[in-house]
C-alpha cells in the first residue's frame, strides 16, 4: 500500500467505517510507516474531539446598545465618532461593533463590578477560551500574535464564522464556529477537509502550499490548524465547504477567503542550525538539523538513517526475505521502519518537550504534531519535524536527550504446527506470546494438495500492534502461499495483553505433509539512546548576539 492510498483511507479507518480488507491493509502500512503514523495521529485526534457536543447561548441583537448605554449611565466617556459605534453600516461595521462592545463591556465590568449574564460571560471569554486547549497558542496570544476577524458567510441556514487567527512560520490556526439560522452554535462543529470540501492555503501566485488541516475542538469552538514550512509573508486560506457534520453531512455552500499576514510572526521567529549526530552500535544514525523558535511552537528537525555499511547489510537481508517468499512491502520495513524517541530538558533535568507524549492537549510538554520530510529522501532515511509548545520560561541551557531508537529487525522465532491433530503449539518471543488456536483442512480441489486455515492468537505487550507477518514453510524449506482471512481478524484486550486473532489461509500444501513451520518475519526492537545529550542553541543568546552585531 502506498502512502497516498493509506492516507485517503485514514478518516474512515479512524471512524471504524473501513471494510475489513482495507482496515487490515491500513494496519499493516501504519506498522512500518512513520509518516502515515503522524497523519493518523492527527486524524484520530479529530475523531475523538468531535464526539462531545456543546451549546452556547447567543447574545441578543440589542446587546451592544445596552452595554453602551450602561457605560454612559455610569459617566464613562465613549468616543462616539468611531464609525463602528454609529447606527447602520454593512457587515464589516457590524463586526466591528461586536468587538468594540465586548471591549467596552469588559471596561464596564472592571469599572463598576456589574453582574453579567452567563451568555455574556461565555462570549466575553471566548476569544481567550479558544487558546486554552494548547500551551503554544496560549503563549502566542499573550504575546499579541492573535488577530480577531469575526469573518462570516451563510448558506442554507448555516453560518460559518471565523473568529480569529494565529499565524507564524510554523502554522496558521483559524478559530471558528458553525451557527444555525437563529445564531445558536451547532453541537457538531466538524466539516471534512477532504471529499467534496476543499480547504487549502495558497501563496500570492495561487500555488497551493498546504492542504488537509488538523481539526481540533476547544472549550467554546473549533480550530483548523494548517502546518507550514518556510511560508511566504502573505498567504490566503480558502474554505470551500459543501457539507458539514461528523456523522451525516448537511449540504451547504460556504465559501470564504481569508488573507493572512505572516510578517509579524516571521519577524519574531528564529531558525538556528544544530548539525549534531549520534550513531548507535547497530549503525543507526540520529541527526539533528534545524531548530525553529516561533511564537506558537518550537520545531526540531530529526533524521534517522542507516550508515552505509549497515544499509548494505540490510539491503541483502531484504532480498533474502523476498527470496524466501516475504512480500516486498513487508521485507522493506527492515530498511524504512525506524524512529527516535527523545526529550528536551533544562539543566536541572526538567522535561520541556517529550516526543513520547502524543497530545499537547493532555501533556503540555507533548507533541503538537509532526511533519514528515520530503519524499525525495533515499531509502532507509526518515526525516521528521517535531512541533512542541514554546518553553514556558526562557531557558539558558536547553538539552536534547536521545531516549531510545526503535528499529525493525528480522525475527528469530517460529512455531512448528502439526496439520493432523497431534496438538497445538505456542511460544514466547520478545515479551509477546503466540499461540495456534485452530487448524482446519478445507475441502480439497486437487487430490494432491490441500488448503489449511490456521488461526493464531498474538498476545502483544503494546495495545494497537498490528497482526504479525508469517512465512509458512515445510521442513524441506518449501514456501507456501499464505494470506490473511480479513473477515476473521479480530482484536481485543484482557489481563494477558492486547490480542490480535488472525486466520492464515495456506494453499497448495501436499497431502502427505504432516506439519508446517510458521516463521515470524519481523520484530521491532528498542535501542537505548546511549545517554547522548547535546546543548541546543539558545534563542535568547542569539537575539543578543544579533543586536550586538
pLDDT for 371 equals 84
Chosen CATH of 130-266 out of 3.60.20.30, 3.20.20.10, 1.10.10.10, 2.60.40.1930: 2.60.40.1930
3-state secondary structure of 418: strand
Q: What is the CATH number of domain 269-400?
A: 2.60.40
Count the neighbouring beta carbons within 10 Å of the beta carbon of residue 297: 27
Q: What sections of 202-332 are H helices per DSSP?
A: 263-267, 308-323, 328-331
pLDDT for 477 equals 84
| DSSP letter assigned to residue 33 | -
Q: What sections of 388-438 are H helices per DSSP?
A: none
Confirm whether 269-400 and 414-520 share one CATH topology.
yes
According to the 3-state scheme, what is the secondary structure of 61-82? CCHHHHHHHHHHHCCCCCCCCC
Q: What is the spatial distance between Cα 112 and Cα 75, in angstroms, rounded to a whole number?
A: 11
Give the residue from 466, 441, 456, 436 showing the smallest Cα distance to 501.
456
3-state secondary structure of 537: coil
- Mean pLDDT in the chain? 78
Average pLDDT score over residue span 133-139:
80
Average pLDDT score over residue span 401-410:
93
pLDDT for 96 equals 39
Q: How many CA atoms lie within 13 A of 196 on its CB side?
A: 13
Ramachandran region, residue 212 (left: φ > 0; alpha: ψ -120 to 50; beta: rest): left
- Which of 317-321, 325-329, 389-393, 464-468 holds the top average pLDDT? 317-321
Average pLDDT score over residue span 242-248:
87
pLDDT digits (tens, 9 = 90+) for 440-459: 888 766 678 889 999 999 98
Confidence class for position 64, pLDDT limits 50, 70, 90: low
Confidence class for position 254, pLDDT limits 50, 70, 90: very high
Domains of the chain, residue spans: 63-125, 130-266, 269-400, 414-520
pLDDT for 359 equals 62
Given a cut of 70, whether residue 21 has pLDDT beyond it is: no
User: Which of 66-80, 261-275, 409-423, 474-488 is predicted with the least confidence, judged by mean pLDDT?
Assistant: 66-80
Average pLDDT score over residue span 24-45:
69
Given a cut of 60, whether residue 228 has pLDDT beyond it is: yes
| DSSP letter assigned to residue 411 | -
Given a cut of 80, whether residue 126 has pLDDT beyond it is: no
Who's near 333: CB < 8 A, 6+ residues apart? 31, 32, 408, 522
Contact assessment for residue 481 and residue 423, using Cβ atoms and an 8 Å cutoff: no
Given a cut of 50, whether residue 53 has pLDDT beyond it is: no
Instruction: Determine whether 155 is exposed, middle or buried from the number of CB atoms within 10 Å of its CB (0-12, 13-18, 19+).
Output: middle
Please give the grid coordinates belonging to residue 548: 550586538
Confidence class for position 467, pLDDT limits 50, 70, 90: confident
pLDDT for 541 equals 53
According to the 3-state scheme, what is the secondary structure of 332-395? CHHHHCCEEEEEEEECCCCEEEECCCCCCCCCCCCEEEEEECCCCCCCCEEEEEEEECCCCCCC
Given a cut of 90, whether residue 155 has pLDDT beyond it is: yes
pLDDT for 377 equals 59
User: Which of 306-310, 316-320, 461-465, 496-500 is predicted with the least confidence, judged by mean pLDDT?
Assistant: 461-465
Q: Who has greater pLDDT, 26 or 141?
A: 141
Sign (positive/negative) of CA torsion 351, 354, 358, 364? positive
Given a cut of 90, whether residue 267 has pLDDT beyond it is: yes
Given a cut of 70, whether residue 546 has pLDDT beyond it is: no
Q: What is the spatial distance between Cα 38 and Cα 24, in angstroms, rounded to a whole number?
A: 18
Average pLDDT score over residue span 205-227:
86
> What is the residue whose three cell numbers read 502427505?
512
Chosen CATH of 414-520 out of 1.20.1090, 3.40.1350, 1.10.600, 2.60.40: 2.60.40
Who's near 15: CB < 8 A, 6+ residues apart? 47
User: Which of 64-68, 233-237, 306-310, 453-457 is predicted with the least confidence, judged by mean pLDDT?
Assistant: 64-68
Please give the grid coordinates belonging to residue 439: 487448524
pLDDT for 277 equals 94
> What is the residue whose three cell numbers read 497445538?
424
pLDDT for 374 equals 65
Who's near 478: CB < 8 A, 6+ residues apart? none
Q: What is the spatial distance between Cα 21 and Cα 26, in angstroms, rounded to a whole number?
A: 9
Average pLDDT score over residue span 84-103:
39
pLDDT digits (tens, 9 = 90+) for 485-510: 878 888 888 888 888 898 999 988 88
Count the neighbouring beta carbons within 10 Å of the beta carbon of residue 272: 14
Average pLDDT score over residue span 137-141:
87
Who's near 374: CB < 8 A, 6+ residues apart? 383
By percentage, how much of the chain surpasses pLDDT 70? Answer: 72
Given a cut of 70, whether residue 296 has pLDDT beyond it is: yes
Q: What is the spatial distance between Cα 217 and Cα 130, in angstroms, rounded to a whole number?
A: 9
Give the residue from 206, 194, 201, 275 showing the smallest Cα distance to 238.
201
Count the neighbouring beta carbons within 10 Å of the beta carbon of residue 142: 12
User: Which of 50-64, 180-194, 206-220 is predicted with the least confidence, judged by mean pLDDT?
Assistant: 50-64
Given a cut of 90, whether residue 319 has pLDDT beyond it is: yes
* 92 CA to centre of own chain: 35
Amino acid at each position: 500500500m502506498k502512502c497516498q492510498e493509506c492516507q485517503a483511507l485514514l478518516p474512515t479507518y479512524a471512524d471504524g467505517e473501513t471494510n475489513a480488507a482495507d482496515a487490515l491493509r491500513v494496519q499493516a502500512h501504519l506498522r512500518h510507516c512513520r509518516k502515515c503514523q503522524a497523519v493518523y495521529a492527527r486524524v484520530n485526534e479529530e475523531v475523538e474531539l468531535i464526539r462531545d457536543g456543546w451549546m452556547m447561548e447567543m447574545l441578543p441583537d440589542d446587546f451592544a446598545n445596552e452595554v453602551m448605554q450602561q457605560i454612559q449611565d455610569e459617566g464613562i466617556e465613549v468616543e462616539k465618532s468611531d464609525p463602528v459605534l454609529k447606527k447602520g453600516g454593512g457587515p464589516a461595521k457590524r463586526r466591528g461593533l461586536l468587538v468594540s462592545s465586548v471591549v467596552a463591556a469588559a471596561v464596564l465590568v472592571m469599572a463598576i463590578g456589574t453582574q453579567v449574564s452567563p451568555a455574556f460571560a461565555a462570549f466575553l471569554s471566548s476569544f481567550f477560551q479558544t487558546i486554552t486547549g494548547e500551551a503554544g497558542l496560549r503563549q502566542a496570544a499573550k504575546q499579541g500574535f492573535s488577530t480577531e476577524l469575526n469573518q462570516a458567510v451563510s448558506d442554507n441556514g448555516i453560518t460559518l464564522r471565523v473568529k480569529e487567527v494565529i499565524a507564524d512560520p510554523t502554522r496558521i490556526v483559524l478559530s471558528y464556529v458553525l451557527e444555525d439560522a437563529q445564531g445558536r452554535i451547532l453541537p457538531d462543529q466538524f466539516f471534512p477537509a477532504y471529499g467534496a470540501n476543499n480547504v487549502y492555503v495558497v501563496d500570492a501566485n495561487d500555488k497551493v502550499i498546504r492542504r488537509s488541516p488538523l481539526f481540533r475542538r476547544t472549550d467554546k469552538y473549533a480550530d483548523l490548524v494548517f502546518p507550514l514550512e518556510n511560508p511566504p509573508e502573505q498567504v490566503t486560506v480558502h474554505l470551500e465547504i459543501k457539507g458539514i457534520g461528523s456523522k451525516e453531512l448537511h449540504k451547504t455552500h460556504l465559501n470564504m477567503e481569508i488573507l493572512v499576514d505572516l510578517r509579524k510572526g516571521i519577524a519574531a521567529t528564529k531558525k538556528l542550525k544544530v548539525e549534531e549526530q549520534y550513531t548507535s552500535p547497530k549503525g543507526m544514525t540520529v541527526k539533528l538539523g534545524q531548530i525553529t523558535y516561533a511564537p506558537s511552537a518550537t520545531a526540531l528537525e530529526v533524521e534517522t538513517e542507516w550508515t552505509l555499511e549497515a544499509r548494505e547489510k540490510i539491503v541483502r537481508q531484504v532480498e533474502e526475505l523476498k527470496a524466501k517468499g516475504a512480500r516486498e512491502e513487508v521485507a522493506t520495513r527492515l530498511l524504512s521502519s525506524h524512529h527516535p524517541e527523545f526529550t528536551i530538558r533544562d539543566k536541572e533535568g526538567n522535561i520541556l518537550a517529550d516526543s513520547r507524549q502524543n497530545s499537547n492537549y493532555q501533556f503540555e510538554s507533548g507533541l503538537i504534531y509532526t511533519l514528515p520530510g520530503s519524499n525525495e529522501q533515499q531509502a532507509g532515511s526518515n526525516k521528521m519535524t517535531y512541533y512542541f509548545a514554546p518553553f514556558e520560561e526562557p531557558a539558558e541551557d536547553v538539552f536534547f536527550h536521545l531516549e531510545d531508537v526503535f528499529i525493525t529487525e528480522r525475527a528469530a522465532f517460529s512455531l512448528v504446527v502439526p496439520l493432523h491433530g497431534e496438538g497445538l503449539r505456542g511460544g514466547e518471543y520478545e515479551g509477546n506470546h503466540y499461540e495456534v488456536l485452530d487448524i482446519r483442512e478445507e475441502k480439497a480441489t486437487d487430490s494432491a494438495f490441500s488448503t489449511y486455515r490456521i488461526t493464531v492468537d498474538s498476545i502483544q505487550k503494546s495495545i494497537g500492534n498490528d497482526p504479525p507477518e508469517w512465512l509458512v514453510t515445510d521442513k524441506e524449506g518449501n514456501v507456501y502461499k499464505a494470506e490473511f482471512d480479513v473477515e476473521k481478524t479480530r482484536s481485543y484486550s484482557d489481563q494477558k495483553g492486547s490480542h490480535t486473532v488472525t486466520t492464515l489461509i495456506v494453499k497448495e500444501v501436499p497431502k502427505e505433509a504432516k506439519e508446517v513451520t510458521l516463521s515470524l518475519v519481523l520484530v521491532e526492537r528498542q535501542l537505548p539512546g546511549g545517554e547522548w545529550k547535546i546543548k541546543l542553541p539558545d534563542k535568547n543568546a542569539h537575539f543578543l548576539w544579533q543586536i550586538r552585531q
